[in-house]
Structure 1
Amino acid sequence: MSQARQILQQFQGTPTSDGAGVSLTRLIGSRNLDMLDPFLMLDYFASDQPNQYLAGFPEHPHRGFQTVTYMLAGSMRHKDSLGNEGVIDQHGVQWMSAGRGVIHAEMPEQKQGLMQGFQLWVNLPAKDKMSAPAYQEFPAEQLAEEKLAQGGLVRVIAGTTKQGTQGPVKQLDIDPIYMDISLPQGTSFEQPLSMSANAFVYVIDGSVAIANSTISEGNMAILSPGDEVILEGLSPTARALLVAGEPIGEPVAKGGPFVMNTREELMQAFQDFQTGRFL
């Protein structure tokens, strides 16, 4: 018999800024939730005020984890030390594994208008922290889509829906699920999940119900263990992000742009970067 997930914890994020002064809301990596293994950080940004995003995220290093950028509106240009360069437009996604080290920049491609999206940091297991950097980028047309009743829609970035719609991102260690779900009022969406996976839902617009509990716009919910989650739209424009992944279960040493397993490894990352031995 299936076990539906419920809401364990619900909270709003912490307003802050990052990069060269980009205004955002920190949901994971905040005072409310330090991490949710394997997820290290989640930022949500949404502004139509250019002075809140134009400074962007100039060149900076990463080691030991993955960054996932998903754009809901606007355009962001990415350039890194691997020679990759491209623009992430609306509903485009970039999934980058920093591995042993990468230096990259993410800068707004637009000068005005709404810029909205998420950046998620996903941990790497110890065996992969010093692996070669890797990069996946998918424009909106390469995301899988599944239509629901009454105009509902699921954009599948990673994972597979109950109906078999599969996202393009490949990342085996944590078996990720990353879905953007639009649920008009009265529409529901059921997603199978591994019992051992950690999972959360963030409501982008309107409100949704999970196991008779309501989550409103701007709120994040951590889900209890279970092998499925059922989301129900409670407002005409309800929209939510569903993310899940298998916990890695290893020690985490975080410092600035580096995430390793021990403090010694963390100090080595800083030393490598400062002495030009990073790449």
Structure 2
Amino acid sequence: MSLRPTLETRQATPTLEGAGVKLHRAFGFQDPSEMDPFLLFDDFRNELTEDFEKGFPWHPHRGIETITYVLSGSVEHGDSLGNKGTLGAGDVQWMTAGRGIMHQEMPQGNRNGQMHGFQLWGNLPGSLKMTDPRYQDVAGKEIPEVIDDDGTRVKVIVGEYWGKKGPVDGIAADPQYLDIYVPPGVQKTFKIDTYRRAFAYVFEGAAAFVDAAKPTGVLLEKEVAGQEVNIRDLSGNRTLIRFGNGDEVSLQAGAEGVRFLLISGAPIDEPVAWHGPIVMNTREELMQAFSELRNGTFIKPAH
């Protein structure tokens, strides 16, 4: 087994999106090869209704898939295919935009006016960019949870963990998407397929992620998975950790425990032409998509 090195640790950046929704962006609209097959990750978390109530009105997508995971509050959605519904706390929606879809997402706060959720964009390979659009809506009660003897809890949203399979399937990037809680002080190691790109996003508590590339000999307090780690070097709220190659990720939870997303996927390794909500392989395909938006031919009949 080989421990994955930490390539980068960074804080999510405050951003305005949609009609003025305040959110934090962990990555997106930079180098698309950095997180391939993933393009963007947003954490929309607000205590004040006015920070999210204007939502994400009608807008197009083509060439990508999006996964929306709601922790509190709800999101009302509708699209050009006639689909509509509401995602509640714990619910997940994976949308394959394929050849083109228009949709809107309007967040609603919980009884205290709070809203929290995540949205991840996954790229589609060129062979599937013009596929039929589709939705997968999954209720929170359908998401399996693995509970370890040490108190660790893992919700399996996509992929498999300890023999439990997530309810969302048929995704081009074949990802693994786990929502993980590790109790205070617990040391834990998670296996990840060697050939996948991987990142963690901490959103509650804090943890020290073991860096296989970090030299020893500094002031150390614990040893995790055979590697020394300074547990005072903690990654906390809204921290992205990007990992290098290997087949394990190890961590030491902080004094309050830690909750984070662990996401990995198989790289597509194709050219990316990207502007706003549309991601294609070439500039010509991108220009054609925006031309179709202007002339009203963007939404195409089912195959």
What's the offset of the Cα at 1:274? 1.1
Distance 1:25 1:34 in 2: 21
Distance 1:11 1:33 in 2: 17
> In the superposition, relative to structure 1, how do residues 174 and 239 fare at CA in structure 2: closer, same or farther (>3 Å)?
same
Q: Residue in 2 aligned with 1:45?
A: 44
Q: Any gaps of 5 or more consecutive residues in structure 2? A: 211-228
Q: Residue in 2 aligned with 1:270?
A: 290
Query: Which of 105-114 and 29-38 deviates more?
Result: 29-38
Amino acid of the residue matched to residue 45 of structure 2?
A
Question: Do residues 225 (structure 1) and 245 (structure 2) align?
Answer: yes
Q: Map of 1:104-183 to 2, 5 A cutoff?
A: 104-110=103-109, 113-161=113-161, 163-183=162-182
What's the offset of the Cα at 1:210? 2.0
- Describe the superposition over 1:224-262 as per-residue Cα deviations: whole angstroms up to 9, x where unpaired: 111122333223241111110010000001111100001
Query: Which of 67-76 and 22-31 deviates more?
Result: 22-31
Q: Residue in 1 aligned with 2:218?
A: none
Distance 1:83 1:15 in 2: 33
CA contact (8 A) 2:19 2:55 kept: yes
What's the offset of the Cα at 1:172? 4.6
Q: Residue in 2 aligned with 1:16?
A: 15
Distance 1:276 1:31 in 2: 29
Amino acid of the residue matched to residue 142 of structure 1?
E
Percentage of pairs with the same residue: 44
Q: Residue in 2 aligned with 1:194?
A: 193
Aligned residues: 277
Query: Which of 232-241 and 59-68 deviates more?
Result: 232-241
Q: Residue in 1 aligned with 2:58?
A: 59
Query: Which of 102-111 and 120-129 deviates more?
Result: 102-111
What's the offset of the Cα at 1:192? 2.1
Distance 2:33 2:254 in 1: 29
What's the offset of the Cα at 1:183? 1.0
> In the superposition, relative to structure 1, how do residues 246 and 269 fare at CA in structure 2: closer, same or farther (>3 Å)?
same
Q: Residue in 2 aligned with 1:242?
A: 262
Distance 2:30 2:167 in 1: 33
What's the offset of the Cα at 1:159? 1.2
What's the offset of the Cα at 1:31? 6.1
**TM-score, normalization: structure 2?**
0.87
**TM-score, normalization: structure 1?**
0.94
> In the superposition, relative to structure 1, how do residues 140 and 194 fare at CA in structure 2: closer, same or farther (>3 Å)?
same
Distance 1:264 1:154 in 2: 43
- Describe the superposition over 1:134-166 as per-residue Cα deviations: whole angstroms up to 9, x where unpaired: 1111111011111133543111101111x2121
> In the superposition, relative to structure 1, how do residues 77 and 35 fare at CA in structure 2: closer, same or farther (>3 Å)?
farther
Q: Residue in 2 aligned with 1:210?
A: 209
